[in-house]
Amino acid sequence: MLERFDPRRKAVRMLPANSPNRWDWILLPLVLGLLAAIAFGAMQMTRPFTVGQPTPISLDPINLPYYLLRTVLRMFTALFFALLFSFAFAAIAAKYRAAEKIMIPLLDILQSVPILGFQAIAIAPFIALFPGNLLGVESAAIFAIFTSQAWNMAFSLYQSMRTVPPELGEAARIFRLSSWQRFWRLELPFAMPGLLWNMMMSMSGGWFFLVAAEAISVAGQDIKLPGIGAYIAVAIQEENGRAIALAIVAMLAGILLYDQLFFRPLLAWADKFRFEESQGESTQTSWLLDWGRRSRWIRAATDRFWEKMRGALGWFALPPETAAAPPPNPKLAWLMTRGWDGLLAVALLLAIARLGFFIHSEVGWAEAAHVFGLGFITLLRVMLLIALASLIWVPLAVAIGLRPAWSQRVQAVAQFLAAFPVNLLFPLVVYLLLRFHLHPNVWLSPLMVFGTQWYILFNVVAGASAIPNELRLAADNLGLKGWLKWKRVWLPAVFPSYVTGAITASGGSWNASIVAEYVTWGKTTLVADGLGSYIKQMTDAGDFPRIALGIGVMCIFVMLLNRFFWRRLYLLAEDRGS
């Protein structure tokens, strides 16, 4: 039987396979709009500038979209470099024991150094690197935001690489994967869900310290870069409550935008990396990812991109057959290990001697003892607050992570709460403490954990969402309920992720103590005893030896806490994972 001729069907058949469809035309304005916004913001970041040139910030609401664009560009630029840093740091620290002995304590130190300390070091070199151009100051601001993002991501990736299930490692050895292939095909995909949640938390951490990053002081000049952080700084300076409220609305709009356009698609895409054999009942979804998969142009572009990457890096090519390498000499390996440990011990002794000389000649031993006493007060606050935050957020995070539909609903809300700058709470805090005659030593403490407790929430949500569906079904089949189910299934499964979040929250709380223990609004100042308020007061007084003493003591406390407490929990998490 002959088929009836239909000219419309013939026309459809003759269309080329890569011709645009309706989804391409829907996405085209969005893609072009994003590219135009990025290009415009990049041009504004590289305009001519000289130190001393006035940089006025207007509180007119009409400028908020432009300020939001500049801020988001800085934060995503910092996030890109933080991601590269995390890849390199985690790969080296997880694979080389000798490097790990230096890099993990170094990361503890970097995490405890206040963002103002990094900015004070970086501003002059960046301005000298780009003379007569605003890009130098922009680079300094991006570097400051980078320091609020990178440490959390590096810890997350390092922890994930150290807790890869042994059966996956055995499979990598069977397929003869090189170190490069093992990283890209096993370790990074396994760490992807947790890494993405920590990237979201890092973006929120950038918002938390945005005021310090965009309002820069150099050579006696105040430089305020156009952005939401500088807008907030001017609003606080002028005690403009309306402008602060508008800044909060702009922050919420920005977080919702990049959540829908960036993080939500990535989380839905990364759902395929979950370590399980069967798909769960519900998964992460993204309207933008669904549109992209239906778009012919987007699919063709992504297919071509991954094809080029596979060809360039050889991810999927097996290494050639080579003769087995001779086993290492155990005596030589022992001597090298002991020699490396000896060098580290000598370096530690030299550092202690240098610290002792500095204290004796610059500040005195009585001052050092006083600062150490303040450090113990801040330590007590940090541990109590982390314990309280854990009791609250771990059960909630597990419940959210086990239900992807819930996590999508609370995702943007949690990002907004984590991004909320604690400076915006100063008016309310000052009013409540003065109105009800509350003691600053007690009631200023929650400000320390206000922006860092979300590290626990985000990491535990990521750990719970990565629990294999088979394990959930096995627990249900065995009839585990109540506390027994938590003890045997949920808590052991999320424990490595919790340790990562708790370490980062602890380090962030030490950093936030500089803001939380010394609160100023207008002419009113509330001070709590502690190491953070000491550093803040010495900074205001310009006493650089005592600033260095305070930061050094803070680094010592963070290192000792991580070494003798959090490090033991890390090892316990590795044993549970293996």
With respect to residue 223, please indicate whether it lies within any of the assigned structural domains. yes
Both 264 and 290 in a single domain?
no
Does residue 4 carry a pLDDT above 50?
no
Taking CB atoms within 8 Å and a gap of at least 24, the contacts of 529-537 are 529/374, 529/377, 529/441, 530/374, 530/377, 530/378, 530/381, 531/371, 531/374, 531/375, 531/377, 531/378, 531/557, 532/378, 532/448, 533/374, 534/371, 534/374, 535/114
With respect to residue 322, please indicate whether it lies within any of the assigned structural domains. no
Does residue 50 carry a pLDDT above 60?
yes
Rounded-to-integer distance, Cα 110 and Cα 82, Å? 13
- What is the extent of the structural domain holding 307? 286-316
Both 294 and 160 in a single domain?
no
If residue 224 lies in a helix (H) or strand (E), which one and from where to where?
Answer: strand 221-224
320 vs 208, more confident = 208
Tell me whether residue 578 is exposed, middle or buried, using C-beta atoms within 10 angstroms of its C-beta: 0 to 12, 13 to 18, 19 or more.
exposed
User: Confidence band (pLDDT; 50, 70, 90) for 335?
Assistant: low
Q: Residue for token digits 């987007």?
A: 298
With respect to residue 11, please indicate whether it lies within any of the assigned structural domains. no
pLDDT digits (tens, 9 = 90+) for 382-418: 999 999 999 999 999 888 888 877 776 776 677 677 7
Both 515 and 545 in a single domain?
yes
Both 510 and 437 in a single domain?
yes
Does residue 380 carry a pLDDT above 90?
yes
pLDDT at 78: 93
What average pLDDT does range 68-95 have in this prediction?
A: 92
Rounded-to-integer distance, Cα 171 and Cα 508, Å? 38
With respect to residue 236, please indicate whether it lies within any of the assigned structural domains. yes
Q: Ramachandran region of residue 2, left (φ > 0), alpha (ψ -120 to 50) or beta?
A: beta
With respect to residue 414, please indicate whether it lies within any of the assigned structural domains. yes
pLDDT at 378: 92
Residues whose CB falls within 8 Å of the CB of residue 289, separated by 6 or more in sequence, listed in order: 264, 265, 268, 269
Both 295 and 254 in a single domain?
no
Rounded-to-integer distance, Cα 16 and Cα 447, Å? 60
67 vs 327, more confident = 67
Q: How far is the first Cα of the chain from the last one, in angstroms, to the nearest whole number?
A: 66
Residues whose CB falls within 8 Å of the CB of residue 139, separated by 6 or more in sequence, listed in order: 122, 126, 129, 130
pLDDT at 414: 72
pLDDT at 344: 66
Percent of the chain with pLDDT over 90: 10
What average pLDDT does range 481-497 have in this prediction?
A: 85
With respect to residue 344, please indicate whether it lies within any of the assigned structural domains. no
Q: For residue 401, give both structure tokens.
A: 């992570």
Both 235 and 300 in a single domain?
no
Residues whose CB falls within 8 Å of the CB of residue 334, separated by 6 or more in sequence, listed in order: none
> Any idea of the CA torsion for 127, 128, 130, 134, to the nearest 10 degrees?
20
pLDDT at 322: 45
Total number of domains constituting the chain? 2
User: Confidence band (pLDDT; 50, 70, 90) for 15?
Assistant: very low
With respect to residue 4, please indicate whether it lies within any of the assigned structural domains. no
Both 141 and 116 in a single domain?
yes
Q: What is the CATH number of the domain that holds 233?
A: 1.10.3720.10
Both 264 and 309 in a single domain?
no
Percent of the chain with pLDDT over 70: 83
Is 403 strand, coil or helix? coil
Provide the mean pLDDT of the chain.
79
Rounded-to-integer distance, Cα 260 and Cα 293, Å? 16
Both 392 and 460 in a single domain?
yes
* DSSP secondary structure code for residue 521 in this structure: E
Rounded-to-integer distance, Cα 125 and Cα 206, Å? 22
Both 474 and 560 in a single domain?
yes
pLDDT digits (tens, 9 = 90+) for 251-267: 888 888 888 888 888 88
pLDDT digits (tens, 9 = 90+) for 16-25: 556 777 777 8
Q: Are 479 and 415 in contact (CB under 8 A)?
A: no
Both 485 and 514 in a single domain?
yes
User: Confidence band (pLDDT; 50, 70, 90) for 318?
Assistant: very low
Model pTM score: 0.75
With respect to residue 298, please indicate whether it lies within any of the assigned structural domains. yes
Both 530 and 391 in a single domain?
yes
Rounded-to-integer distance, Cα 95 and Cα 153, Å? 17
Lowest-confidence region among 113-122, 266-275, 327-336, 401-410: 327-336
